[in-house]
Structure 1
Amino acid sequence: MNRIARSLIWTSSALAIFAGIPAHAQDAAAPADDSADIIVTGQRASLEAARNVKRNSDLVVDSIVAEDIGKLPDTSVASALQRIAGVQVQNGFNNEIQNPIIRGIGDILTTLDGREIFTGVGRGFSFQDLPAEAIGGIDVYKSNSANLIEGGVAGVIDMKLQKPFNFSKGFTVAANGRVYRGDISGETSYTGGLLVSNRWDAGDGEMGLLVDVSYGRNNFSRPISSNCDPRSSNHGPAGAANIVLPTCVGGLTDTGHNTRPQVNAAFQWQITPELQFYLDGLYTGYRSTFATNFIFSDLFAGSSITNAVAGNDCFSGLVDSGGFPTTDAENPNNRIENLCIGKSATFNGVDVLTSTQAKKQRTDQYVFGGGLKWDSDTVHLVFDGSYIQSKNANRTIIVDTAKHGASVDIIVNDGGHGTTVMQGDPLGNPDGFVFANSLFQDLSKSNSRQYAFKLDSAFDIESNFLRQFQVGLRYSDRTGTFRAVAGGPNFPGANRATLVSSVGLPSDFMVLSPDSIPYINNGAHWYTPNPDYLLSNTDDLRALYGAPAGDPAWDPTRNYEAAEKTWAAYIQGKYQIDLGGSSLIDGLVGVRLVDTKRTLDGTSRVIGAGPNNTDLFNPISRGTRDFYALPNASIRFRATPNLQFRASYAKTVARPTFGDLNPGLSLAAPGGNPNVRLAGSGGNPDLKAQMSDNFDVTAEYYFGRSSYVSVAGYYRKLKDRVAPSNSVQVINGQTYLITQPRNLGSSKLKGIEVAGQAFFDFLPEGFDGLGVMGTFTLADSEVTTPGDPLEGKELLGVSKYSYTAGALYEKYGITARVVYTWRSGYNESLFGAGTLTSPDYDSQFNKVKSNGRLDFSVGYDVTPNITVTVDGVNVNGGKYYSYFDSPAFPHDIRIDDKFYGASVRVKY
């Protein structure tokens, strides 16, 4: 296969010479194809349009087309993406689906109408920041070609906004509104949108103008209950021996709301039949105000343990003097202990704590673009210029409080989660709290902007083999700045000693938590610092903690500035061989060349090395340059009008984030204990980009008006993945243990995808509106880096199996759908030092159990212009369960909310 790919790459250069066109090219994110912008009404027409995009594409593509103006088939972009074979998602803290990965990999390039889009200084895009109401369709590219923007090892997701020429008639108005309510949050949320579009004659041509606005507010609450790290009770309070119990127990709720304002506008002018001018812009915002309310029992700091009961999961393990797992058998303080995982116990004399993390988040995205299209019988040109700016700010204020001397009953495993009861419910009374720990302020802001210009060209050629020659060029100029600080002053005097009620705070400083956790204190609410006070009176708190007014200064070692300029060029040929009748062979052969220059400015710090033991800060600047050649080749064999096969190869790349490249370094000052190695941490400006060789094969059969079934196989060979690593470095004559991100080697991923949909037109009247759809994915991954702690293990965060199954109905003005989405369990993270649930410390994981979600919607066309819909999300109450490598010792249970809603859509 590699020899074939190399031959096809050579052929692409020959095609450039044959066509007599210079081999200059552009980097374009999936140039918008107007033929794919199909305006449909109804879910069957939507699915049919998506099927046709898949069928006619030169690449392996799966698509989602809005059922109507402003209506994706799901409540969010990420929710809609989870219905595509090979895409897996997670539920976020605010009970919204987010973080899609494609075929087990999260390095995805996101584009909007073919233009790169990102959030903050990151490489990725936060899909929750763009309302689903603004999207007309989504294409998920799983294979690559030279004309796609580089940057996505996993693939490219292109979101498409509506344009005025998408509408066949002149004047169109569409409005939609939805209200929904969560079982846990108990509050009503809403979204609404209005789209107005018109097109009219302008001399020999035509003009069109579209404006779309939307606004939504989402209220959320998500309870989580946790056991902390397993620990040998031989090193804890007296009263239990040879039992593994949690170091602590507790939970939290994320409670609050977010809002999303959005407006986009587009202007199109068809100057002549061949020439079109276009101009468009987008603003979308994300605002969130919420609190993470913690409840916590510091079990191993208690005075005694009673009523301890051991289970039947027993083993012998090496533990250190603190009762945690270790592999250091040479240390005389470590020993092998015969242990059993505990079932239940009572801890006495325990400090119980509450904490409020009051948070405000804000993101503003601006995208502006315009260009020209020339489309004649044989020449197709697109020149596009764009500007994007993404600004992000986060503010978190944290205050901890505690009470002394509680007795806490725990059950380690109560049906897949831990259960906690604090005897007498001490946190249900506002009196007697003391301040604990420091006033912690976690502040950050980022600002990134990018100018990009591209020229795509395609020339149709009359020959028996080469049918089109494509050449393009792209230039982008991106800058990013990041500022952050984390920390704060300790409370004056001893920790956990000063009464909250003794320092003159208002009577409502301690308030009942807005929500409770069913598995802690039988679902009772608890008192915790008031988040509104923390955000609105931060200076008063700083004075209380003995700090001056105002936010602390930015931490120089966390700050950085980055500038990155990229030139990309491609050449690509589209070939076709007619085999007689309807049979043919066609495909693409191309190569993309990418040259990137960047500068990174940060600061290194040596603690206590300046005058009077102050910290010494040293500015540091680095310049780097990367060059990549990214070949691609594909072939499609259309055996009959309904049956086709594909095979493709492409090399893809994903650049490191600016944060990982930050050259800043923080070092501990020399001196102190000579037996302790000095430590430091920072970024790594020498990181290489992650690379992947991608192979895909598919078989696709299309039947009926809207039905199909496809089977795909894929293989990904990745190298230079980025992960944190420790190394010993000598700096200024001193030896340091430095923690930095590094390129750690290779992994491979292979799998099978099956997808299809069918409509039963042959059934009797009334039943002929039925249809089914489904997807299945097998993702078999393995880390192949010699010596890596994950060697031979699956990639983190990847479910081996996942599927979607749905039933559809559309008839007599009724549109109904029910869909179940499921993914198998997966390894979420590796415990580097092991976890005390078995003696195999080298390969123990935080594991997540399989989970599924059931969604439904039922709509009715009251008139041809008005539709009402009711829907439900996660109506089966699917939850996240994780455990410390052994199901006998649960870690987290996260309660995902159920939502029920109703919507109205009007279109004229």
Structure 2
Amino acid sequence: MKHLKKTAIALGVVQMTMMLSGAAVAQTTEVPKSDVAAEPVAVVVTGQRAALQSAQKIKQNSDEIVDSIVAEDMGKLPDRSVTEVLQRVVGVTIDRTMAKGDPEHFSVEGSGVSIRGLSYVRSELNGRDSFSANGGRSLNFEDVPPELVAGVDIYKNPSAEQIEGAVGGLVNLRTAMPFDYKGFKAAISADRTWSELKKGKTSPSYSGLVSNRWKTPIGEVGALLDLAYSESGTRTDAFQVEPYYPLKDAKGNSVFVPKGAQWRTLEFNRKREGAYGALQWKKDDWSSSLTYFKSKYEMQWDEQAIFAQSSPYNIKVSPDATFNSKGALLTGTLTDPTDGGINFGDDTRTSNRKSDTTDISWNLRWRHDSWTVTTDLQRIKAKTHSVDSTVATGVTMPSETLDLTGSVPKILFTDAGRAYLADPKNYYWAFTMEHLDKSEANETAWKTDVKYDFDHPVLRDVRFGVRLTDRDAVTQNSNPSYNWSAISQPWQVGWNISGLASLGDPRFSGNTNVHTFNNFFNGGVSVPAVVFPNVSLAQGYPASYAQLHTYHDILCREVSPTNSCDPWKPATFGADNYAGTNDQSEKTKAMYGQLRFGWDDLKYPVDGNIGVRYVKTDSTARGYTVFTSTAPTGGTMVGVPVPNIAPFAQVKDYENDYHNVLPSLNLRMKASDTLQFRLALASALSRPDFTQLQGYTELSESANSSTNTATGVTTVNSVSLTGKGSGNPLLRPTTSKQLDLTAEWYFAPTGSVTLALFNKRLKDIVVNQTYIQQLPDTAGKLHDFVVTGPVNGAKGHARGFELAYQQYFDKLPGAWSGLGLQANFTFVDSKRDLYKPVYQKYCSGGNTADNVNLNLNGCDTDGTTFGNLPLENLSRQTYNLALLYDKGPISARLAYNWRSKALQAVNVNGTQGTDGLDSNPASPTYGQHVIAWGLPTWSDAYGQLDASMFYKFTDKLQLGLEAQNLTDATYKQLMQQNIGMMGRAWFKTGRRVVAKLSYDF
């Protein structure tokens, strides 16, 4: 793999489409845009080679810069998800974690998509809006059954007729239509997937398509139905190392030591269902289509994880410990004599999410002479809901020996240590935590497009149109969002471990199991067995939680029989849960004009289009503002004046209106029939996600003061006016001025070399920053509150190049002529510059956790800051290499995908450390100084090798095998600290093998 990485640039680069053998969908030579009902020009092609030829023709003949993936006859894409397919396209990368804010959970099939290093990606279905109900604006591509998709087009630059919203790029999923086929068409397929770490278990998938067209008295009519069902079961094993803290070693030297290391395993199961139907009709000048698309996605994962939860500053390291040149621990034994051992939590966590998206669209077209008028009406509804439940035991580990010198951490235990961890009597019931959320989004969209074809040597056609949308989105998170509730915790009993709800006490025993972590890391590592709560306790919320919290009540009354012992309260949505409700509505009005032209008589013919799109956005956020004060009132006060503002809680709606003018120019020059060059200039926008537009704000007033009991005089030393915004409903869109230059050489029907240079200059990037919000006091004087939340606070750029090559070596003798090669390479350089802020946040301490500040680029555990960071989710280098074979009945590929490290997020891996004075007697860290820290997390460079082989017994029957992650690669996550890029987590998923059988009627 290292050799592949070193030679990627020298090899040139890669355009890898993920095609299976089999007949390809009849394709047009021009990608359908708004004219979705138009009858395509059928090109009957068969085999993987022909599918690549069709995709190459789409790229060559398109008005814009586009890369396409053409599927086989049934509209089947070969990977387990659309997300996996997209990573093969030059300039496209995918995330490998389940969510941006959750870097600790790996996604085997991938998650978010970035184009040219930017996550501002728009998604479409047949040229229309498509999205998931997740608080964002785009589709979760992993939710879509790939079996329903006939092709994917990835636009790298916009034109005026395209719907606005794609700064990074546009991904358009295309489905088959009845008129794509000459007559009757039917096909079925079935497969089974085997996952290496889930020994003995397989997951089924099925799909079927039927289509036909008929001549009738009312015109020609076509109907198509496509159904898909898919299951997937995988397992992910993981090691994790806690951040490194500044401590003293046994000799008194300053060193950096993690408070522990841990391991976990996650069982993931997902079920995906899809149904797609299409009706088409045409007669004379009229044609129409009606489509129905439904995708349903359900996932369930269960995790057993052990994690360190001791105070890091109580950790002691053994005298024989070794450190690197920067003082970071390499090997050594950790102990915690202050707490009687290293306190660990052992949780069983289950998460279930159900999502579905329904799209119903109707299209009508009239074409007469030079005029074409198309009108289109769409209704889309998406919804999702989730339950995330955690039940934990706890254990005090006497010591933990670490060896962090290898490629994967080693956690070493003696036989006695292993026996200790496997004994339930050493555990206690620790806590429960649940999170609930639900979301629904709806949109009605209408557009009409008019085209007039010129009979002119230069002018080709003029297009203009209008589009109106009405969209609403409501996302609700439970209150509290993550309802952490102690059952028994060491700090509750003064670190008297014997006073906890021990599993050795018959009153509290049962409902646990000893998890042995069989075949951990594919057998490469042995870790001790751990006692975990049964999965049924996590899945049994809320009844199981109520039972567990009776243990807390028993202990509470043992301490004092007269204690009232607050009862456990489950998280709820509630009508008054303003902090957890994000209610948005948005209307847009857009119009465009676009002229297509060409000079065919020039020595080097030139053609293209020029246009402008105008769009007005009107949005409303139904919000809530809360103001509270803990500052002293009344009596005699001296020192700093305290603003007299009455506490309040009020509903407040925010109106946010803006408009944008988006010009575009696309030019193509044909140096020959096979060599052409493109120039594209455009303005683009990407609206903020709805999660960033929430209108809930908390404002607070506090004072540092002291009262002389003898005189009754209160001295106020300082007053703090601060706030926290869950979002910012007045955000503007991020905009881009972009330039693209390409050179494209199509030297064979399936042979090409293409080079693309791009430069996107970004403005109004949304970052978490501070801004001012004012409130009047009782006298009407305005006071500035420093509020933390998302703002349009930065500008930047993403620039680089793409290089792609593909070819079949037809001139080789005999069977060797079936060999082919695809390669692509992308380089992206990015920069983000903050606008000059009114207030800049630095890493600093405070006497409560709420008062600490986090720097935009993160804070290290020693209170130092980090320098400027690149844009998130951006790898500077990515490449694909694929060896292809297509000859006779055999079609095969061996494909490798690699991307360099990328910033995942900032401050998501953080907490409050302690090393000083906390003056709050009610705080568990009383007498200590609270320091906030939050580290940037990165995905390390990662490469994965996949393969497939298909054999056609007849023109109708085909058997295939696919394999993912053949080299059993380990995915590594990094945490940035000033001592270096330290290993944070290592994930192992094993190999997957799929056996597939398909039959065409």
TM-score calculated relative to the size of structure 1: 0.87
- 1:110 counterpart residue number: 123
Q: What amino acid maps onto 1:430 in structure 2? A: P
- 2:982 counterpart residue number: 889
Q: Deviations over 1:601-622 (max 9, x none)?
A: 0223345889xxx996421211
- 2:960 counterpart residue number: 869
Q: What amino acid maps onto 2:724 in structure 1? A: S
Determine whether 1:282 maps to 2:293. yes
CA distance, structure 1, for counterparts of residue 817 and residue 488 of structure 2: 75
- 1:592 counterpart residue number: 613
Relative to structure 1, the CA distance from residue 848 to residue 551 in structure 2 (aligned partners, 3 Å threshold; closer, same or farther) is closer
- 2:219 counterpart residue number: 205
**Superposition pairs for residues 771-790 of structure 1, below 5 Å?**
771-785=820-834, 789=857
- 1:7 counterpart residue number: none
- 1:763 counterpart residue number: 812
Relative to structure 1, the CA distance from residue 419 to residue 40 in structure 2 (aligned partners, 3 Å threshold; closer, same or farther) is farther
Determine whether 1:724 maps to 2:768. yes
- 1:629 counterpart residue number: 661
**Superposition pairs for residues 110-189 of structure 1, below 5 Å?**
110-120=123-133, 121-168=135-182, 170-186=183-199, 187-189=201-203
Secondary structure, aligned partner of 1:52 = helix
The alpha-carbon deviation at position 791 of structure 1 amounts to 7.5
Shifted more, 711-720 versus 847-856: the winner is 847-856
- 1:681 counterpart residue number: 724
- 1:604 counterpart residue number: 625
Shifted more, 502-511 versus 696-705: the winner is 502-511
CA distance, structure 2, for counterparts of residue 833 and residue 773 of structure 1: 38
Percent sequence identity is 26
Contact 1:454 1:474 in 2 (8 A): yes
Q: What amino acid maps onto 1:188 in structure 2? A: T
CA distance, structure 2, for counterparts of residue 649 and residue 667 of structure 1: 44
CA distance, structure 2, for counterparts of residue 239 and residue 401 of structure 1: 35
Aligned match for 2:399, one of 407, 427, 432: 407
Q: What amino acid maps onto 1:891 in structure 2? A: R
- 1:347 counterpart residue number: 335
CA distance, structure 1, for counterparts of residue 614 and residue 42 of structure 2: 29
The alpha-carbon deviation at position 550 of structure 1 amounts to 6.1
**Superposition pairs for residues 253-264 of structure 1, below 5 Å?**
253-264=265-276
- 1:4 counterpart residue number: none
- 1:665 counterpart residue number: 697
Relative to structure 1, the CA distance from residue 608 to residue 470 in structure 2 (aligned partners, 3 Å threshold; closer, same or farther) is same
- 1:620 counterpart residue number: 652
CA distance, structure 2, for counterparts of residue 227 and residue 520 of structure 1: 18
Relative to structure 1, the CA distance from residue 166 to residue 240 in structure 2 (aligned partners, 3 Å threshold; closer, same or farther) is farther
Secondary structure, aligned partner of 2:325 = strand
Determine whether 1:88 maps to 2:93. yes
CA distance, structure 1, for counterparts of residue 172 and residue 967 of structure 2: 31
CA distance, structure 2, for counterparts of residue 481 and residue 835 of structure 1: 30
- 1:358 counterpart residue number: 350
Q: Deviations over 1:417-457 (max 9, x none)?
A: 46464833533233332122x42221110111000011122
Relative to structure 1, the CA distance from residue 537 to residue 746 in structure 2 (aligned partners, 3 Å threshold; closer, same or farther) is closer
CA distance, structure 2, for counterparts of residue 604 and residue 502 of structure 1: 48
- 2:382 counterpart residue number: 390
Contact 1:243 1:342 in 2 (8 A): no
CA distance, structure 1, for counterparts of residue 826 and residue 159 of structure 2: 23
Determine whether 1:250 maps to 2:262. yes
Contact 2:234 2:989 in 1 (8 A): no
Contact 1:832 1:842 in 2 (8 A): no
Contact 2:773 2:785 in 1 (8 A): yes
Determine whether 1:538 maps to 2:542. yes
Secondary structure, aligned partner of 2:158 = coil
TM-score calculated relative to the size of structure 2: 0.79
Contact 2:429 2:488 in 1 (8 A): no
Relative to structure 1, the CA distance from residue 502 to residue 737 in structure 2 (aligned partners, 3 Å threshold; closer, same or farther) is farther
Determine whether 1:63 maps to 2:68. yes
**Superposition pairs for residues 252-331 of structure 1, below 5 Å?**
252-272=264-284, 274-298=285-309, 300=312, 304-314=316-326
- 1:448 counterpart residue number: 441
Contact 1:748 1:782 in 2 (8 A): yes
Shifted more, 517-526 versus 635-644: the winner is 517-526
Secondary structure, aligned partner of 2:590 = strand
Q: Deviations over 1:159-211 (max 9, x none)?
A: 0111111112x222111111111112333122110111111111262111111
Secondary structure, aligned partner of 1:768 = helix
The alpha-carbon deviation at position 845 of structure 1 amounts to 4.8
CA distance, structure 1, for counterparts of residue 508 and residue 389 of structure 2: 16
CA distance, structure 2, for counterparts of residue 503 and residue 568 of structure 1: 69
**Superposition pairs for residues 11-22 of structure 1, below 5 Å?**
none
CA distance, structure 1, for counterparts of residue 320 and residue 983 of structure 2: 17
Q: Deviations over 1:274-311 (max 9, x none)?
A: 31111110111111121232212345376643244232
Relative to structure 1, the CA distance from residue 498 to residue 669 in structure 2 (aligned partners, 3 Å threshold; closer, same or farther) is farther
CA distance, structure 1, for counterparts of residue 910 and residue 540 of structure 2: 42
Q: What amino acid maps onto 1:181 in structure 2? A: W
List runs of 5+ in structure 2 lacking aligned partners. 1-31, 98-105, 550-565, 632-645, 706-715, 778-782, 837-855, 858-865, 913-931
CA distance, structure 2, for counterparts of residue 515 and residue 447 of structure 1: 40
The alpha-carbon deviation at position 109 of structure 1 amounts to 0.6
- Give the number of aligned pairs: 845
**Superposition pairs for residues 772-811 of structure 1, below 5 Å?**
772-785=821-834, 789=857, 793-811=869-887
Q: Deviations over 1:633-666 (max 9, x none)?
A: 1111012111111001010000011221111112
Contact 2:96 2:110 in 1 (8 A): yes
CA distance, structure 2, for counterparts of residue 752 and residue 603 of structure 1: 46
The alpha-carbon deviation at position 829 of structure 1 amounts to 3.8
Contact 2:427 2:531 in 1 (8 A): no
Relative to structure 1, the CA distance from residue 449 to residue 729 in structure 2 (aligned partners, 3 Å threshold; closer, same or farther) is closer
Secondary structure, aligned partner of 1:371 = strand
Determine whether 1:903 maps to 2:996. yes
Contact 1:221 1:515 in 2 (8 A): no
Relative to structure 1, the CA distance from residue 615 to residue 96 in structure 2 (aligned partners, 3 Å threshold; closer, same or farther) is farther
**Superposition pairs for residues 550-569 of structure 1, below 5 Å?**
551-554=571-574, 555-569=577-591
CA distance, structure 1, for counterparts of residue 386 and residue 451 of structure 2: 45
CA distance, structure 1, for counterparts of residue 584 and residue 139 of structure 2: 18
CA distance, structure 1, for counterparts of residue 516 and residue 188 of structure 2: 38
Shifted more, 47-56 versus 378-387: the winner is 378-387
Relative to structure 1, the CA distance from residue 843 to residue 587 in structure 2 (aligned partners, 3 Å threshold; closer, same or farther) is farther
- 1:328 counterpart residue number: none
Aligned match for 1:572, one of 591, 594, 604: 594
CA distance, structure 1, for counterparts of residue 107 and residue 520 of structure 2: 16
Contact 1:39 1:166 in 2 (8 A): no
The alpha-carbon deviation at position 729 of structure 1 amounts to 4.8
Determine whether 1:218 maps to 2:239. no
Q: What amino acid maps onto 1:180 in structure 2? A: T
The alpha-carbon deviation at position 812 of structure 1 amounts to 1.9
Contact 2:119 2:873 in 1 (8 A): no
Relative to structure 1, the CA distance from residue 615 to residue 32 in structure 2 (aligned partners, 3 Å threshold; closer, same or farther) is farther
Relative to structure 1, the CA distance from residue 410 to residue 833 in structure 2 (aligned partners, 3 Å threshold; closer, same or farther) is closer
- 1:45 counterpart residue number: 50
Contact 1:478 1:563 in 2 (8 A): yes
CA distance, structure 1, for counterparts of residue 504 and residue 627 of structure 2: 40
Determine whether 1:499 maps to 2:499. no
Shifted more, 186-195 versus 589-598: the winner is 186-195
Secondary structure, aligned partner of 1:794 = coil
Aligned match for 1:460, one of 453, 456, 460: 453
The alpha-carbon deviation at position 883 of structure 1 amounts to 3.0
The alpha-carbon deviation at position 38 of structure 1 amounts to 5.9
The alpha-carbon deviation at position 884 of structure 1 amounts to 3.4
Contact 1:484 1:559 in 2 (8 A): yes
The alpha-carbon deviation at position 521 of structure 1 amounts to 8.0
Relative to structure 1, the CA distance from residue 207 to residue 34 in structure 2 (aligned partners, 3 Å threshold; closer, same or farther) is closer
